[in-house]
Structure 1
């Protein structure tokens, strides 16, 4: 399983995609939707989680594309 991908506001404006524990952003975009699409593809390829933060920095969405510890039954 790869690093979880975070979509969060960039300190200098716009949005960033950042792997968990990384110092630098992988990608910087002007919109959250662009950053989310890029991060989703990375998370799917790495079989990891996508965590989307709002403009205030709080987590607003989580999606698992890897080994989900609580898969639905049936």
Structure 2
């Protein structure tokens, strides 16, 4: 998990929200949808990225809640 932000990852049949670089989950919930909502709230509050991983662990979706440096130029 190299990218900065919140990651929704599978965790023993459940879903975890984990901050980039953290060894422990912020929260573990039963459904991916609940984990996405919790992670989205955190990412919006912190102005960071949200990465949603599939059951295979690969990133399948990404949302940005920070300032886009490309858009802020100019």
TM beyond 0.5: yes
Deviation (angstroms), 1:70: 3.9
> For 1:21-40, what per-residue CA distance to the aligned partner results, in whole angstroms no more than 9, with x for missing partners?
00100000010000000000
Runs of 4+ in 1 over 4 A off after TM superposition: none
Of 60-69 and 34-43, deviating more is 60-69
Q: Could you say which residue in structure 2 is the equivalent of 1:35?
A: 35
Deviation (angstroms), 1:13: 2.0
Q: Could you say which residue in structure 2 is the equivalent of 1:5?
A: 6
Bigger strand share: 2
Measured in 2, the distance between the counterparts of 1:69 and 1:19 equals: 22
Of 61-70 and 21-30, deviating more is 61-70
Q: Could you say which residue in structure 2 is the equivalent of 1:59?
A: 59
In structure 2, stretches of 5+ residues that fail to align are none
Bigger helix share: 2
| Higher RCO by CA contacts (8 Å cutoff, separation 6 or greater) | 1
